[in-house]
Amino acid sequence: MSIGWHLLTLPALSVCAAAMEADAVCVGQWMLSRPIIVGPLFGAALGAPFAGAALGAVFEAISLEAAPVGSFIPMNGAVAAACAVMLSAGPDMLPPAAALPAGWAAGLAATRVEKIFRDHRARLSAEAAALLEEGRGVPWSSFLIRSAGGYAAAVAALIYLAVAALGPAVGGLLDLLPAAARMGMTTAFNWAPWLALGILMHSLARGK
């Protein structure tokens, strides 16, 4: 299963996750990139709908108030949820208590990719403006591929590498931890929904 996972399933899921995540940054704005959507869909695809829904709901509530303002880019909830579900329901079968922080780390790494492509899009915009000032045509299809296409490919690669690397690494680390530390991680995970619920209630209260 491991060979099929790395050659077929994981690449396909990584591309799907990147396509859904692009909804938040490049195209659409149809809310497909929300963790509450990504988590259950990926959980269902891997035969673990309840785990996917739980992890998606936690990342949704945690990232609900986080919005990109100026140069600040929050943790990428879609990438975090997708990676956490694949780490938990995939062949590595990490416990949710370990998959949650591992997914969080992948979501934070995705912010670096987005920052790079923000700068890339700014350069493309300046290039397009210069062409228009010169009265020349702008190759919009090429610009779209270099912008949205390049970003989606980078995110898909990040998701693939994160899941492929974090699964064995975190699993090996768990084996080295004493029982008390593993119990502490489980306790922290059990508290995560309550923390997320508090963030959600705070967000709703501010919206009054």
**Consecutive 10-residue runs of the chain (208 residues): their mean pLDDT?**
86 94 66 89 94 90 69 86 96 91 94 88 87 86 82 94 95 84 74 67 63
Q: Which domain holds residue 60?
A: 2-111+156-206
Instruction: Detail the DSSP E strand segments found in 50-164.
Output: none
Residue 150 lies in a domain: no
pLDDT of residue 43: 96
Residue 177 lies in a domain: yes
Residues 6+ apart with CB under 8 A from 108: 75, 76, 80
pTM of the model: 0.84
How many domains, in total, are found in the chain? 1
Residue 183 lies in a domain: yes
In this structure, which amino acid lies at residue 183? Answer: M
Residue 27: φ, ψ to 5°: -140, 155
pLDDT of residue 169: 94
Residue 32 lies in a domain: yes
